[in-house]
Amino acid sequence: MKLHKILLFLLFITVASTANAQSSSQLKRKKEALQREIELLQKNLNKAAQSKKLTLSEIRALSAKIKLMQDKITVINSEVKNLDSQIHENTNTVHSLQGQLAQLKKEYAAMIRFAQRNRNSYDKMMFIFAARDFNQAYKRIKYLQQFGQYRKKQADYIQGTEKNLNYKIVVLDKSLKEKSNLLREQENEQNKLAKNKNEQATVLNKVKRQERELGRDIAKRKRQQSAIDREIRNAIQREIALARKRAEEEARIAAAKAKADNKPAPVERAKTNSNVLTATPEAARLSAGFETNRGRLPWPVAQGSITESFGRHTEGEASYTNDGVDILTGDGATVRAVFGGEVLFVRIIQGIYVVAIRHGDYFTIYQNLRSSSVAKGDKVDTRETIGTVATTSDGPLLHFEIMRGQAKLNPEAWIAK
C-alpha cells in the first residue's frame, strides 16, 4: 500500500508539472506577441518623430504602445505568480520526497538486518522443514522468494525516489533563477513605461498647442470617411435591391406556376434585408459560416496592432466616431480577406483603394490600400490576398470594418484575440 501511495504521488507531481509548463509556455507566447506589437509601434513612432508635425496617428500609436506595455507587465506578473506557485509546490514535493526516501531507506535497512541474521542456508531449510504440513512448507518457500523480490523492488523504489528528488531540486533551482530574471525584466518594463508616460504627457501638452490644426485634420478625415461611407451604403443598398428584385421575380414565377396547375398561390411574407441577402443557399451558407467564426476570424494583415478602436473618440475639443478599427502594420503589408465571399466593389476614393467583400448578409471593408489584386464579382477565400496597404502621413495604416446589412459591428469582437 505504501508503494502504491508513492506511485500515485509521483504521478500527481508529473501531471501538475505538465499543467504548469503549459501555462508558462502560454504566458511566454503572449508576452512575445505583445513585444512584437510594441516593436512595430515603436518602429512607426520613430519614423513619425522625424516630422515636426504632430499627427493623430502618432498620438494613437503612443497610447496603444503604453497600453501594450501595461499588458506586458501584467503578463510578467502572471508569470511571477505562476512561478511562485511552482516554487511552493516543488518545495513541498522536495520535502515530501526527502521524508519518503528516509522512510524507504529505514525499511530497507531493517530488511537487510533481517536478511543478515537469516543468511545461512541451513536456517532457511530449517524454517521450511519446521512446517506443520506440505501446504505450510510451500507457503514458507513462496514467502522467502517474495521477500527477496520485495527487497529488490524496494531498492529500485529508493533509486527512483532519489532520481526524482534530484530532478525536483534542479527544477526548483531553475525556477528560482527564472523568477529572479523575471523580476529584473519587470523592473525594466516599469521604467520604460514611466518614460513613455512622460513622453505621452509631453505629446498631450503639444496637442493643446496644435488643437486647431488637429481639429482641421479630424474634419478632413470626417469628410473623407463620409465619402467612403456613402459609397459603401449605396453599394450595399443596390445589392439589397437586386436581391429583393430576384426574390420578387421568383415569387411571381411560383405564383404563375401555381395558377397554371390550379393550386393556391404560395403565401409570401415580407422579407427583411437579412432574409433577402441570404435567400440563396450559397449566401445562407456564407452568412452562417461567418457568424460561426465570430471571435476566430483571422486578422486582415499578418502582423499589426490596433491603434484606434471602434466607437466614439475625443481629441481635445473635437470628437468623431470610428466605425471600424485602425490597424498599424508594416510598409507594403499584404491585406487579406478575413473570410470567403464575393468582392462587392473596388473603388479608388481620394487616391486610395477601398475593397468591400460580401459574405451572405455580412460585409467586410478594407480601406487605405495602395493597390488591389481583386475586382468586382471575384470569389475570394479566407486569407486570400486582396491588395497591399498604403503608407500615408499616418504610416502603414489599414482601416477595417465589418457590417451586417447596414449595421456597423465592432471588428474586435470578430477577429481572433
pLDDT tens readout for residues 218-273: 667 777 777 777 777 777 777 777 777 776 776 666 666 666 666 665 545 545 65
pLDDT of res. 291: 92
* Mean per-residue pLDDT, 183-189: 81
* Mean per-residue pLDDT, 141-146: 66
Between 341 and 68, the more confident residue is 341
Rounded to whole angstroms, the Cα distance separating 230 from 151 reads: 87
- Model confidence band, residue 88 (pLDDT cutoffs 50, 70, 90): confident
Contact 398, 276 (CB under 8 A): no
- Model confidence band, residue 340 (pLDDT cutoffs 50, 70, 90): very high
- DSSP calls for 214-255: HHHHHHHHHHHHHHHHHHHHHHHHHHHHHHHHHHHHHHHHHH
- Model confidence band, residue 200 (pLDDT cutoffs 50, 70, 90): confident
pLDDT of res. 342: 92
* Mean per-residue pLDDT, 144-153: 63
Q: Which three cell numbers stand for residue 34?
A: 505583445
Domain 214-413: assigned CATH number? 2.70.70.10
Q: Which three cell numbers stand for residue 267?
A: 403565401
pLDDT of res. 273: 58
Highest mean pLDDT, choosing among 104-118, 167-181, 186-200: 186-200
pLDDT of res. 122: 45
* Mean per-residue pLDDT, 115-131: 58
Give SS3 for 265.
Answer: coil
- Model confidence band, residue 2 (pLDDT cutoffs 50, 70, 90): low
pLDDT of res. 237: 78
Write out 375-387 in H/E/C secondary structure: CCCCEECCCCEEE
- Residue 52 main-chain phi, psi, to 5 deg: -75, -20
Q: Which three cell numbers stand for residue 273?
A: 434585408
- Picking from 81-85, 136-140, 211-215, 297-301, which range would have the lowest pLDDT averaged per residue? 211-215
The percent helix, strand, coil of the chain (3-state, each to 5) is 65, 20, 20
The torsion region of residue 80 among left (phi > 0), alpha (psi -120 to 50) and beta comes to alpha
pLDDT of res. 19: 47
Which candidate, 161, 160, 146, 150, places its Cα nearest to that of 110?
Answer: 150
pLDDT of res. 371: 92
Share of the chain above pLDDT 90, in %: 17
Domain spans in the chain, listed from the N-terminal domain onward = 2-209, 214-413
pLDDT tens readout for residues 156-182: 666 666 676 667 677 767 777 877 877
pLDDT of res. 238: 79
pLDDT of res. 352: 86
For residue 313, pLDDT beyond 80: no
For residue 68, pLDDT beyond 50: yes
Share of the chain above pLDDT 70, in %: 63
What is the reported pTM?
0.60
